[in-house]
Structure 1
Amino acid sequence: MAESCVSMTGRRRTSTRSTFLPRSFRFSRSVRATALSAGALAACASLAVACGVVPGTAGGSGDGPIVVMTWAPEGTSATNKPGMPAFARAYARWLNANGGLGGRDLKVLTCNDRDDTVAAAQCARRAVKEGAVAVVGSYSQHSDAFFPHLEGAGIPYIGGFGVTNAEFTSPLSYPVNGGRSSLLAGLGKELAPQCGRVSLVRPDTIAGDSLPVMLDAGLTAGGHDASSDQPAPEDATEYTDQAEDALRTATKGEGRSRKGRGCVVTALGDRTGTFMDSFRRSRDDYPGVRTATILGSVDQTVINAAGAASGPFEGAYVTGWYPVASDPAWAPMKKVISEKAFSDTRIDPADTGVQTTWIAYNVLRQAVESLDGGPVTADTVRHALDGGLRIDTGGLTPPLRWRFTDRLASIGFPRLVNADVTLQTVRKGRLVAAERGFVDVTGTLEKADVD
C-alpha cells in the first residue's frame, strides 16, 4: 500500500510498503506497562549519543516556514475523518493571511493513515523526514505504528483524537480531551439511575477493548451492574445480528427489580449510523428500549438520518468533550471556516474531529508564541509544553497544562489532564445541552478496574 501525503502546495509523494510490524496489546494486559515503555522511548529520544539521533533540531529554525503535520484516515471502509486535515489546511491559510506565527508561515503537511498500521507508520516517518516540529490535531487508531517514530525523533503529538491508550501514556503526547474513556465513564454515571440492563455495542478492535471498562466505571459509580459487552465488526455494512443481541440483552429480566427500561449504548464511530439502521428495524419487538452514545459516534447528521424526533435517538443522552456546536465559544473557529473553507463540505463545525483540530492548533500557536521569537523546533515546542505552559482554549475545555504525571497516572493514563465532559441530549430531533458547563469524571476514572 502506498502512502499518500499532501502538503499545502498540493504535492503528492508515494513510498513503498514498510516492513514495520507493530506489536499488539489489549487493555487488560496492564496499560502501566505501556506507560513504562513510552517513557523508555522518550528517554531514548533525549539521548542523542546513545540512540544515534539528534531529535527535535529541524523543521522550524531560521526564517523559513514552521512545518507541522496532520493525519487522519480517509476513503476507508471503517472510520474516516477527512475534515481534520482539511481544516488544518484551512487554518494554515487563515493564519498565514493574518501574519502567521511570529511573522513566519505555517506549512501544514497532511497524510492519509488509511486506518492501516503500515500507512500510519509511513505518515510518521514522513513527518520526521520533512522536519515537522509537531503532529497536530490528528486521528489514528495505530499508535503502536506511529509513536515509536515520533518518540525517536522527539516530535510532540498535540491534540490526537484520544482513540488509543498510548495517547494518554506517551510523554510526547499532549491530549486536549479525555478520549472515549472519559466520555463513556461520564455516560455510565448518568445512565446508572435511569437504565435497567445496559448493552454496549462497540468496535471489535484493540482500541475498542478498553471501552467496556470505562462505561462500567461510570455505571459502578452510580450503583449499577456492569454492562453487557457486544463487540461488533468495525467495517460491517449492516448490524442486524448485533442489534438483535443488544436489544435482547437490554430487556432480559425487565420488570423484575430493574431500575428502568433497558438501554443500548453505541460507540461504533462512523458505523453508528449503519448500526442504527439495523436497530430501527429490530426495535419494534422491544418497545421502550432507550439509546445513548458519545460524540464521535453521533452528530446531528446521524440523528437526522435515524429519523430525528421520530428516531431512536430522541431522548438519548450523549456525552461530549466540548460545548455544543451552537455555543458562542466556537465563533473564532467558524470564522476561520467561513473565510478560508466555506465551500469545503468535508469541514463541519459540529464534527468533533474538526473541533479537536481547532483546539490542537491553538495549543501549537500558544506554545510557539511563548518562545518569544526564539527557535521553533520539535525540541523547543516540547519543552514549552512541558515547562508548565497554561493553555487557554476560550472556554472550550478547562485550561490545559501537562505534567509528566497527573492524577490518572494511577490507572496508567499519566497524560490525561482533561477528564471533563459535557452532557447533551436529543430533544425534538436536535442535539442540545442537557446541562450547562462541564462534568469532571476524574474521580470515576480513578476507580476504573483496568487490571
Structure 2
Amino acid sequence: MAAGCGVVPGTTGGSGDGTITVMTWAPEKTRATNKPGMPAMARAYARWINANGGINGHKLKVLTCNDHNDTVSAAQCARRAVEADVVAVVGSYSQHGRSFLSPLESAGIPYLGGYGVTDDEFTSPLSYPVNGGQPSLMAGLGQQLAKSCGAVTLVRPDTIAGDEMPLLLDSGLSAGGHPGAADQRAAEDATEYAGHADRALRQVSADPSRAGCVVPALGDRTDTFMDSFRRVREEYPDVRTASVLGSVDQSVIDAAGRTYEGSYVTGWYPASNDKRWKPMRDVIREEAFGDNRIDAADPGVQTTWVAYTALREAVESLGDGEVSSRTLRRTLDDGLRIETGGLTPTLNWNFEDMLGAKGFPRLVNSDVTFQQVRGGRLVTARKGFVNVSKVLENSDTA
C-alpha cells in the first residue's frame, strides 16, 4: 500500500503490540560496492536488544532490503518501508538518495544514520546523518596527505557519487597548501585496473624530488585496483598509497599482504581495535558469532551500530509516550543530544546547532580520524578526531 493509499504518516510501526518496526537496507551480491554486514548487524542488534528487554519495553523488529545498487531497487526498498509503516530507516547504505528519500519524505519517515555516500543525505530535512559521509572522508584525506605527498592522483568511480570526490579531496589538499590531485575516472565494476594503475604511477612520479601518492577510492573494487597496482609498481618503489575506510579496512589489508603497508587512511571513527568498540564486539560475539558478513572493522557495520545506538536513545527519550515516525522526528528535531560512547562527538540535529557547512546543511559531525597501515595493522596516525568543517565550508561542491 502506497503512502497515498491509506498509510497514515506518523503512526506507530508494528502490529499494535508495542513492537517498533524499522528497516535497514544495503546492496548485496552486486558487481559493485556491497554492504551485507549492515543489515546483518541490524538483525544481530535486534536479537541482542530483544534478549535484554527491548527498548523501553518495546520489542524491536528489523526489516531488511537489498537496494542492488540501482535506482529502481532503492525506490522499491523505500516503498516497502512505507508499506510496513516503519518508524525509521536506520543504519543503511545506498548511492541513490533521490530515489529513496522522496517516498520516505512523503510518508514522514526519518532516515537515521545513512552511510553518507550522497549529497541528498545532507540536505533532506528527514535525514539524520551520524557521520560526515563521503564529504568529510575525502576532505579529511586531502588534509592528511597535503604535507605527506608530492603529486597526488585520485582513481575514483565514474558515477554521480564519484564526481564529487575530486572537489572534496582538493579542498583538503588546498587547505594544507597542496596544489591538488589529478583525477582518473574508472568503472566501479571493472575486473582489472592495470591501465589506470600504470597511468597513475606515471603521473605521481613526474616529480622525483618528492614521493607521490596514488589514491584509489573505488569501494569494493579498491582491492582489485591494488592487485593491478602491485604488479606494475616495481618501477616506482617510492610511491605511496592512500584511501578512505570503506575502500580499505583491516580485512582487506590482511588479505593483501604488504600491498597496503604505509598507506594513509582516513575514517570517521576510532580505529577498530579501540576499546570504545567493545560493546559492539560483545554483541557480535553473542548474537552473530560465525556470521562472516559482519566485520567489526567495516565502517558500514560500525555506522549501523552507531545509528542503532542513536535510535535507542531517541526511543528512550520518549519515555512512556507514543513511538512513531512523527514523535521520533520531533525528539530529534527538538535538540536531543545523543552520546555514542565516544565513537562520535555528541550528535544533535537541532537546526541552530547544525554546522552549516556549505552544501551540507544537515551535517552535524565533521570529525574524522587519521590512520595508517604499519606492520600490517591499521593504527591511529594522529590521536583524537580532526574536525574538517572549515575545509567543507570552503569547498566548491555547493
Q: Is the 8 A contact 1:111 1:123 kept in 2?
A: yes
Q: 1:380 is matched with which residue: 327, 351, 354?
A: 327
Q: Give the Cα separation in 1 of the matches to 2:352 and 2:234.
A: 49
Between the two proteins, the alignment pairs up a number of residues equal to 398
Q: Give the deviation of 1:245 after TM superposition.
A: 1.4
Q: Give the Cα separation in 1 of the matches to 2:276 and 2:254.
A: 24
1:294 equivalent in structure 2 = 244
Q: Give the Cα separation in 1 of the matches to 2:56 and 2:275.
A: 27
TM-score, reference length from structure 2 = 0.96
Q: Give the deviation of 1:103 after TM superposition.
A: 1.1
Q: Is the 8 A contact 1:72 1:84 kept in 2?
A: yes
The RMSD of aligned alpha carbons is: 1.9
Q: Give the Cα separation in 1 of the matches to 2:352 and 2:163.
A: 24
Q: Give the deviation of 1:89 after TM superposition.
A: 0.6
1:96 equivalent in structure 2 = 50
2:234 equivalent in structure 1 = 284
Q: Is the 8 A contact 1:392 1:399 kept in 2?
A: yes
Q: Is the 8 A contact 1:406 1:415 kept in 2?
A: no
User: What SS does the corresponding residue of 1:264 show, helix, strand or coil?
Assistant: strand
1:246 equivalent in structure 2 = 200
Q: 1:123 is matched with which residue: 77, 89, 109?
A: 77
Task: Verify: 1:111 aligned to 2:65, yes or no.
Answer: yes
Q: 1:75 is matched with which residue: 29, 39, 47?
A: 29
The gaps in structure 1 that reach 5 residues or longer are: 1-14, 19-44
Show the 5 A alignment for 1:3-402: 54-59=8-13, 62-255=16-209, 260-308=210-258, 311=259, 313-402=260-349
Identity %: 67
Q: Is the 8 A contact 1:408 1:445 kept in 2?
A: no
Q: Give the Cα separation in 2 of the matches to 1:407 and 1:194.
A: 32
Q: Is the 8 A contact 1:189 1:222 kept in 2?
A: yes
Q: Give the Cα separation in 2 of the matches to 1:116 and 1:314.
A: 34
User: What SS does the corresponding residue of 1:199 show, helix, strand or coil?
Assistant: strand
Q: Give the deviation of 1:407 after TM superposition.
A: 5.6
Q: Give the deviation of 1:408 after TM superposition.
A: 4.8
Q: Is the 8 A contact 2:251 2:297 kept in 1?
A: no
User: What SS does the corresponding residue of 2:232 show, helix, strand or coil?
Assistant: helix
Q: Is the 8 A contact 1:420 1:441 kept in 2?
A: yes
Q: Give the deviation of 1:195 after TM superposition.
A: 1.1
1:253-302 CA distance string (max 9 Å, x none)? 333xxxx2111011111111000000001111222111111100001121
User: What SS does the corresponding residue of 2:104 show, helix, strand or coil?
Assistant: helix
Q: Is the 8 A contact 1:60 1:376 kept in 2?
A: no
User: What SS does the corresponding residue of 1:293 show, helix, strand or coil?
Assistant: strand
Gap change, CA 1:372 and 1:406, over 3 Å in 2: closer
Q: Give the deviation of 1:304 after TM superposition.
A: 2.2
1:305-348 CA distance string (max 9 Å, x none)? 2223xx2x211111110011111111111111111111211111
Q: Give the Cα separation in 2 of the matches to 1:343 and 1:196.
A: 43
TM-score, reference length from structure 1 = 0.85
Q: Is the 8 A contact 2:43 2:62 kept in 1?
A: yes
Q: Give the Cα separation in 2 of the matches to 1:362 and 1:298.
A: 24
Q: Is the 8 A contact 2:7 2:82 kept in 1?
A: no
